[in-house]
Amino acid sequence: MIKIAVNLNKLKGKIVEKGFNIKEVADLMERNQSTIYRKLNGDCPITIEEAGMLVNILNLSVLESYEIFFNQTVANTLQIQGGDLN
């Protein structure tokens, strides 16, 4: 399994900002609510497949996706290079 660096605080914030709760996200991902809680608390990793699901469920822009699922350095580099991240 490939591990990805996830900014869990930003992810949790986006879930709330988009008007979802953990149960709704778990249902949309077809996962158990306790599994999603563990993933959002960093107790178990978020897979690439799950990251893709979350991007779609939360309707994240490319920049938001990079900021959450990679790191700020990658997001900043892409902005500096003039990429369209929205």
Residue 83: pLDDT band by 50, 70, 90 thresholds? low
Q: Does position 85 have pLDDT exceeding 60, yes or no?
A: no
The pLDDT of 49-65, averaged and rounded, is 95
CATH superfamily of 8-80: lambda repressor-like DNA-binding domains (1.10.260.40)
Measured distance CA(65)–CA(7) in Å, rounded: 10
pTM of the entire predicted model: 0.79
Domain residue spans in the chain?
A: 8-80
> What is the model's pLDDT at position 79?
53
The pLDDT of 54-82, averaged and rounded, is 76
Contacts of 69 (CB under 8 A, 6+ apart): 4, 5, 6, 7, 46, 51, 55
Tens digit of each residue's pLDDT (9 = 90 or more) over 6-46: 999 999 999 999 999 999 999 999 999 999 999 999 999 99
- Supply 34's token pair: 């306790």
